[in-house]
Every structure is written in C-alpha cells, then in structure tokens.
Structure 1
Amino acid sequence: MSERVAQSALQAFISRSLSAVGMPESDAAKVAALMAQADVNGQDGHGVFRLPMYIKRIRAGGMNMTPTFKRLSERPATALIDGDNAMGHLVMHHATELAMEKARTTGVAWVGARMSNHAGPAALYATMPARENMIGLYLAVGSANHMPPWGGTDMLLSTNPIAVALPSKDYPPIVLDMATTVAAYGKVKTAAQRGEEMPEGWMIDRTGAPLTDPTRASEGFLLPIGGPKGYGLSLIFGILAGVLNGAAFGRDVVDFNADATTVTNTGQMILALDIAAFADPDAFRADIDEVWRQMKSSARMPGVDEIRLPGERMDRVRQERASKGIPLSDALRAQLDELAGELGVAPL
C-alpha cells in the first residue's frame, strides 16, 4: 500500500526537518525544493527517501551547515569550487548557476566541485541549463563504491552517473540520466525498504552468481552497463569529476551509506553550453522536436508498443505526480513519521 502526498507538503516537511538540525532556512528551502523535485520526477531513490540518511549525517557532524564556497581556481570559462563540506545540493546548485553565468559570455563553461556531498539525481543539475536555452552535462563520483574494475573483485568504483539535458520546443526536453551500473544503488535501497526482489542482472555475488535479495547487497556488487564499456565510462567519469577536482576517487571514496561522520570530499562537475554560440536557440529547439518525431515514428520490432526518448518517462511521471501527488510506501511514511517525532517537527 502507498499514499500520495502533494509536492508542496513534501517540500515543506523536508525544509522544516533540515531547519530543525541547524540548516539556515534559505538553504533548507533550496535543498527541499530540489529533493521534492526528484520525487516528482520519479527518481524515488534520490528524493525524500534520502532524508533520514542526510539528517543522520548532519546530526553526527558529518556535514557543514554554515559553509563558505570558495573558488580555488578560475578562468573565463572554468572554475573549481570548494564546497566546504556542505550538502551536495547546495554545492551543485551554486556550481550550476556559476557555469550558466559564465556560459552566457564564453559560450561554454565547465565548473568542477570538491568537498561536496551526495546531491541527489544528476538530472536536477543538467536540466537547469536546459531551462535557459543551454545544454547541461553533469558528472559525479558516486557516494559509495559498489563496483570493481572489470574482472576484479575489489570495489573501487561507484555508479558514477552522467546526465545530459537538451531543450526542445513543443516536446519535453531530452534528458539522459543514467548510472554507469545497470541499476543505481538507490534502487537497491528502495527495493530493500519495500521488501522487493531485484531483477537478475543488477548484482552478482563474489562467485559470479546472480544476487537478487537487496538485503544481501553487501555480499556482492553492481554490474556495469555494457560490460567492460560501462566499467570504462565509470572510470573516466570518476577521473573527470573526482581526480581532476582533487576529490575522492577509488579507495578514498567514503561509503556515505555506512559512515555518517567522515568527510566524503565528493567530486562533481557541471558543463553549460549556450546554444546561441552555435545556433539560433529557437531553431535548435525546433530541430530537437524533429528528432523526437523521427525517433517516435520509427518502424517498431514485433512486441514493441512504443519507442521512447530519454526523459520521456520522467516527463509523464512528473505530470502525473504534479496533479495527483507523490506516492510514498507505508515503510517510508513510517520512517518519516518517526523522524518527525525525533526532530520535534510537524509530520507530513
């Protein structure tokens, strides 16, 4: 069973919960808006589901509630941000706004971040430039290692995601948001909370046998998309978002799920490309509409009802949840009610 909660109610609950543990109200409101948007988008493993974990880390002193962002290096089209161990949502919102500001002058801008934390789903930040007639590209080092190098058994890599968002005119934006593993670890955690089995192909144990019980996830590791190709992508994305920024990578990555006190030094990057530097924005958006029409009108294989583009499902879920509310499982609702009691705030 599950009940539905309005986006505004969920956002307000997240905001007052974060304020209760010392986050300034303006920052709490900004984080709450991003987290609730993740749930509206259908990215349930990165929305309010993560709130108890964030609160636990904040109360343990693992995140800085009064950060000062510093630009460690800067050129007209680039910058490196020190996030001062702030909540990742705040770091990446700041970094994305800076990248867009620079791109308006330089045409394209790349902003890297270190000393950040888990920031929710990648699409949140890639879509910010897309709303401003830009193309957004986001990379991150995941907040725990769940994958070995191809052929190995030492977990040295994370889900290291990528998101790319391209604006359109009459159709939804094309938004690719994917982990470099077959499934993001958040999906494993939500399956465990809901008492569900994982499909074969998400994880294997250390003997190579399929692992479908999410409560035994620590006994195995996630599989990369496309075999060694996914491993290669995870490695490169981790270098660009982590090593290049002086952030954690490989054995230095802190397991955000198990350790609430150690500074994670999470690395992320955002690229904003101003479409006007290459083409008329309106014409480009119309061209993306034509891409939609061509892909959707392709002849289909037997048994295929519809061809979808990246971001299409997200847009449908967003519309449905914006009007009907966000579904919360009984287990998650109970956990949030318990959290409200601990914090002394009004429950949902």
Structure 2
Amino acid sequence: MAGTADPIRINHADAQEFVETILRAAGVSDKNSTIVARGLVQADLRGVESHGINRISSYLARVRNGVLDPKTEPTLIQITPVVAQVDGHNGFGFPAAYLGMATAIAMAQTFGIGMVSVKHSNHFGMSAWIVGQAADAGMMSLVFTNSSPALPVWGGRSQLMGVSPIACGAPGGETSRPFILDMAPSVAARGKIYKALRRGEKIPGDWALDADGKPTDDPAEALKGVMLPMGGPKGSALAIMMDVFSGVLSGSAFAGGVTGPYDMSKPGDVGHFLVAIKPDLFVSLDEFRERMGVLYKRVVESDKMDGVERIYFPGEIEQLTEEQRLRDGIPYVQDEIDALNAEAEKLGVPGIRVAGV
C-alpha cells in the first residue's frame, strides 16, 4: 500500500515555494498565492495532512473546470464600526478568510471586537491557520465555516450537514502555549477519508457508514455514504450551528447547498463567520496572560488517567509537530509527490524539491 512506504521529507520553505509557483502559473496573484500556500503548508507542518498541499490537485481541477476563479480578489464592505462583510467572488477561500480576519483584528484593536461574515467563498483549508493569524496579533478569535453535505442530522441517514469545523483561540501566557481549538463535529474530518483513499489505507470502523447505512473501514465506500457525527445529536447540532452562522447569516449556500471541493459541477458558495476579540477588555493584558498561564499549568499538570503519559493543552500536539517538522521536514509518500509533480507538469513549472531538507 502507498501508506506503508518510507516517507519523503520536504523542507517547509521548498513546499511553500512549490505551491506558490504552481498557483501563480494557474493565474493566482503573487499575494494570494502566498496566502494560499502558507495556509496549506501550515496544515502539513501541524500534522493536519488532510488539509495540506495535497489539496492543490482538487483546487486546480476546480479552476480547470471553471467553477473556481483563480484571478478574482475578495472585496470588503464595512457595515458598522465593528461589523464587515467580505465577498469572495468565488475565488480561493484563503484570501477571503485572511482579509476577513485581518479586518476583524483591525476593528478589535480599536473597538475591542470585530465580526466579519464571508460569502461566496470556497474551502479555506485548516481553520487553525486563521486562529493563528489572530493569536499572532494578540487576539482571541472564533472561526466558523460551513461545508458541503457529508453528515446526517441526528436520526437521519442522508447527507445534509457539512463536516464544518469549529475553531477558536486565545493568546497564551508568558510561559504557556496559546489555546487553539480546531475540531470537526464529526468523529473525523472528511479530509482524512480522502487522505486514507489517496494513501491506500483503511479507516477506523466508527468514522462513517457506507451507502447502505452500514459501518465501513473502506474510504471509497465511506465517501459514498455519510460521516458520523461525534456524540450523536451533539455533533449534529454543532454542524447545524455552523450552517446558521456561516451560511444562513452570510447569504451563502446552506442546508446542504454548499458544493464540495471535489465536486466540479458548480461553484462552492461557502460561507464563513470570523470574530476577533481583544483579550484585555475586562482584565489587564498582564492579568489575562497570567490567568492563561495558570489555566495551561493546571490542565497539563492534572492527575493522569491510567496509561496516559502526558496531558496536552488544545492545539499543543499540533504545535509540537510543527516544531519538529520545521527542523526535520514534512513527510509525504511517493504517490503524493508524484501527484504534485503531475500538476506542476501540466502547468509547465518545476516539480517539488526533495533534496535539501
């Protein structure tokens, strides 16, 4: 199987340069190519390979099929001093989300809070990179998006709700890591199913049902059926919440109307909802950071259950993975490298650099 081969490690800077080059060749502006590439490479660095640079093939397929505009620029309308809306104009979701969070941060710096709704967007990758954008600016954040139907509502069996991630974050204390939560309302993110299919791997039997409503460990059969919500009705309700805030509120598609990144039939029409919050609204920044440090310490030093060696703060495992991969390179399998280089060949640009990690 492809997934059993020894990994090929790529330097993160080489991965960034490769994706930027491919996107520019496809008609994406220099600025937007950098934003998209950074979001994808950050996912691979953090170990979220389901949302990493291997997404490029599906994105470019959508460009070639005329359902994603690589050249458009997102536009901004200021609605109130603390509320704005971004129209993605069916371009890449990354620049639309980046503009939205940058705007929310700017409003929060002046008014304490900023809220931005994004409409007519597309898949924006791993939500944690947008949370990180806010954390780097010293802001707390909420990052919501909706997505194409993959989950049943509780008690149903048809695809209706998206596996729409819920993400939020807060800066850490002087000696603690930031809080970064990025989770899907399903047992697993659908991107992990595509990753398993791409790598020729099985999936756990409690991730999805096949077309007949039976549990399956075959990713191909899972993609014909439905993902399972985590916690039953709780996961289903969270998926509906993402649709309310990201789709209903924004004016984008909702209630099963979002087109998935692997569906070449029509534009995605994805919606996002982004909030930035200044952390020193109610206590001083020093006190906030001190309190975050206390929270971090109490969490990671909690008494451990039997068999557990270490307790991690939300987002900490991914941050440790990023630190390791910045040193040692990002692991890919040969089939993934071949697929990336095939896209490069179509556009007449060099393949990804393997040496020099």
TM-score by length of 1: 0.96
Q: Does 1:124 align with 2:129?
A: yes
Match of residue 347 from structure 2: 343
What is the CA distance between 1:207 and its match in structure 2? 4.5
1:269 corresponds, among 266, 270, 273, to: 273
Contact kept, 8 Å, 1:194 with 1:331, in 2: the verdict is: yes
Local SS of the residue matching 1:84:
coil
Partner AA of 1:287 in structure 2 = R
Match of residue 72 from structure 2: 67
State percent identity of aligned pairs.
31
Deviations 1:57-89 (A, max 9, x none): 112222223324333561111112111111000
Question: Which aligned segments of 4 or more residues in structure 1 are displaced greater than 6 angstroms?
Answer: none
Q: Distance in 2 between matches of 1:51 and 1:69?
A: 20
Deviations 1:131-180 (A, max 9, x none): 122101100002x2111111112211011111111111222211110001
Partner AA of 2:312 in structure 1 = R
Match of residue 248 from structure 2: 243
Local SS of the residue matching 2:13:
helix
2:31 corresponds, among 8, 26, 30, to: 26
Match of residue 158 from structure 1: 162
Q: Distance in 2 between matches of 1:122 and 1:40?
A: 14
Match of residue 280 from structure 1: 284
Q: Distance in 2 between matches of 1:190 and 1:181?
A: 16
Match of residue 355 from structure 2: none
Deviations 1:100-122 (A, max 9, x none): 00111111111010010000011
Match of residue 58 from structure 2: 53
What is the CA distance between 1:239 and its match in structure 2? 0.8
Local SS of the residue matching 1:79:
strand
Q: Does 1:93 align with 2:93?
A: no
Match of residue 83 from structure 2: 78
- When the two structures are aligned, how many residues end up with a matched partner? 346
Local SS of the residue matching 2:249:
helix
1:322 corresponds, among 326, 333, 350, to: 326
Contact kept, 8 Å, 1:159 with 1:234, in 2: the verdict is: yes
Q: Distance in 2 between matches of 1:217 and 1:141?
A: 20
Match of residue 172 from structure 1: 177
Q: Distance in 2 between matches of 1:339 and 1:66?
A: 18
TM-score by length of 2: 0.94
Matches within 5 A, 1:280-299: 280-299=284-303
Q: Distance in 2 between matches of 1:339 and 1:161?
A: 28
What is the CA distance between 1:56 and its match in structure 2? 1.1
Unaligned residue ranges in structure 1 (runs of 5+): none
Contact kept, 8 Å, 1:145 with 1:157, in 2: the verdict is: yes
1:110 corresponds, among 91, 98, 115, to: 115
Contact kept, 8 Å, 1:141 with 1:238, in 2: the verdict is: yes
More divergent stretch after superposition (116-125 vs 72-81)? 72-81
Unaligned residue ranges in structure 2 (runs of 5+): 1-5, 353-357
Partner AA of 2:215 in structure 1 = P
Match of residue 237 from structure 2: 232
Give the direction of change, closer, same or farther, for the CA distance of 1:277–1:304 in structure 2 (3 Å limit): same
